[in-house]
Amino acid sequence: MSSAFTFMQSPVGTLTLVARGECLAAVLWETERENRVRLGALHRDDQCPVLLETARQLGEYFAGKRQRFDLALDFAGTEFQRQVWAALLAIPFGETRSYSDIARHIGNPAAVRAVGAANGRNPISIIAPCHRVIGASGSLTGFAGGLAAKQYLLALEGRQSLALDL
């Protein structure tokens, strides 16, 4: 099955929104690393209902009018990755968690590095808020959209005191 995609302009650059069937499958960055997220065949569909709804909700989020998303999501990954991505969805707006917090949340406290790897492969950026995961010291760490985008998203959610970990 091919996936539909469209583009959305945002304060953090052009986002590529991808749907599989009636579910959102990915929110990708314009600086996306090749093969970070595997999607298969894609076709452009600027009228796809789930993509239009995703763009609407993201627009509200960027305007400061939305704190939670209400979209059907289709995470394609291993069982462990899906556990990590589900844990991301449980992080409240305006709060952050460390990789070790996520590892404990999924019942596997020794899997901190694996959590980091799964977080880095999160296909549904912003919606599944991997930007809310920070280093144990409270510093910003790697992010598929770049650290400036991560800092922007956290500031948008009221977390302005975090430092870049360069």
Question: Catalytic positions, please?
Answer: 130
CB 150 within 8 A of CB 127: no
Q: Which two tokens stand for residue 137?
A: 């010291």
Residue 28 · residue 58 · CB < 8 Å: no
Q: For residues 135 and 98, is the Cβ–Cβ distance under 8 A?
A: yes
Cβ atoms of residues 74 and 25 within 8 Å = yes
What is residue 14's three-state secondary structure? strand
